Chains A and B, each alone.
Chain A
């Protein structure tokens, strides 16, 4: 699509965005929608090294913008693109801009990055001049062709854009260094004229890719632009070139201009205003000298910025009177952009029911919180592992004795050698070459009624018996009658005379630290009766953990309902699960250190007892 040299952007311009600047792209498309453009102004994006696509809103609808790994591929697929907006960082902007300058298809390149070294920026400018391309920036927000095309984040929010009537063209061309002030200028122009036609911010660097004058000359050549407005700056020679251009009649359209920085002479020596270029080293470069020279050359220069709006208004009204411009009549309203869900939420305009509820931890705040305790408090006050478990399982900070009990249980359950089903499965899985998660998961999956699960089972049975005030002998009789094995009772080899050290330790700890051990005492009475029948029918470690866990909850003063909730919910198995995971991880690491080969169970250890062969 060929456009005259003076015209960088129109309603059909499409751009390539270098960098995944998704917000900027959405803002460009929202602008397009307000301008009732037929096609989106972003043709493609570049995510270095990656092919893909990016989803954006086009009004209410969602569309895909193709993503390419490099400039050449993107342009090859989109022959209509003639603008590139380069969002690469200051470190890589030079190289990517140089690459873009080599592409004959591109006419305009906008460089957003701030902090590109001056020598490199100057080099880019020279190459652009040589290749007859327009380089806007570096260190710029870009520019805007009202009602046609918006560069990246120019103009601010869509509300500001509509307030400044940028969704439809007027007849004023504006150029300045500052991006922030160009926004203000568009507002001033909207308030005092028929609106902006095109506005460019060339960026605040010492060596901008294109100059104030070059853009003014483009505006001069564009018949749709009737009036020029410019904001200059202290420092540099650029404004003097404008003086020359006006004197030599290269600029003939009315130009309203003000050079900022008149206060610099009242500042201490060496103060640097916001822009790198804004520093006057010689009298010629002061704002006063430039304003005076511009005025003398015939430019409309106000007395101060305070009269800038009036100067623009007067000049515009003169053009109306002369019939050069026709004021706009009834303004057409731009289509409304649907509000983003996130902004609607932020403004409290919408609500929706939640699908999830969480009552234990919160990552949505500035700091992670466990049941009302900030992570900085948990670490700062050195909460023990037991206390941390208390927060996440029971939503309260447990007293020391209870937290310590949980830790003892975890330590006791941490491992029980390689032969038990959990560890065995972990080892076999590890040796099959699976990863840590799979190996440990396969071990965990064996935990249940027969392996490890007796903790919860024992707690349930003993508690139920005690609650029903059954005497130990009545309890044993009832279970026998129902033919149910009492969980937590019985060991393969241990007996009263040869006790399990783990059970001894637990009982000792409980005796010293628990306020009371009602259920343990009850279980021990049961044990007296069962061991009388067979000396290995002792209260085993699972049983002991189970009943003491219930005693712990009694000791914490929890209600029956709350205790029942924990016991019925199988929560006590969690203690075994948590503890044993430590061992399973250990077994996985052990096997993987050994580089143990695939395990195959020997045939001679299997009884093959199949039905007879069918002939």
Chain B
């Protein structure tokens, strides 16, 4: 089917070209108007050729220039003289001949050589240049401007490469960092609330006067909570992510699935943190609360949990910092967080060392900044201060 369509299209296009050429011939036969017509056509159809395999430079490629290129000296009968003002490029005075591939095989073309005399550094940035063509045909002439951009190329040195990678791709890095921070923060917050549920399950106490049904329910909930914690702390997050994304195809959206995995994973860790926080509250307060007639729920809600959570805040903050680092594994399910973004960048110039060096610095800056911010908050809130966290 598609072959048929292609065939028809080719036929139609070929016919259109023949038709157009016939028209041109008939126009050429007339006088002065035809001359200007030639010129207009010349600078409409002008082509530049890259020094790399003499490929035709489309307008797009001219704006991403990294190699020498050629400008035509003539277009049919129209002669073209060029002028170029740029500190980075020079235009040769003499005409060269190159062979370019066309539909009718190799064709020799007279060209001027535009060579790069100086590669702009990443600090100098993209260099826009203007090529002015002067078209002459018999006694008619016209000028036209073409704009292109010479872009910096990655230096061979390590430091140059690092600087280049950083400046050139800062936007991509920042996008990745924003995603990393976003997933980590949202994941930690959701994980916190999930953890409260898990902790309530895990710290259920069975009292002597529970009915057997209530007792059984409590035991089941306790078991489920414990199992949840063992499961999520005992398996790598990369496996969890792959399981939920590739295995179950959850949500049909990798980002949502990733957020889901981070939240569940963090919940297991925070649950253990809060449980420790609860255990650290002296039992006297629970007894006092009981002796005043408060229920177990009220005691938890108003007395124990507020203190346990407050004491757990530094450790929960650490979980956030750990997540900033550990969400790198979400690259496995195709989320373009900071690490995956870096892999993409590293592939652009095949310069792994520079890309991963830059991202290491970015990760360090992120974790260090967040850690110091959290420390400040902790001091304000009069919480116990913790050191820079290690990974889970």
Q: Do A and B come from one complex?
A: no
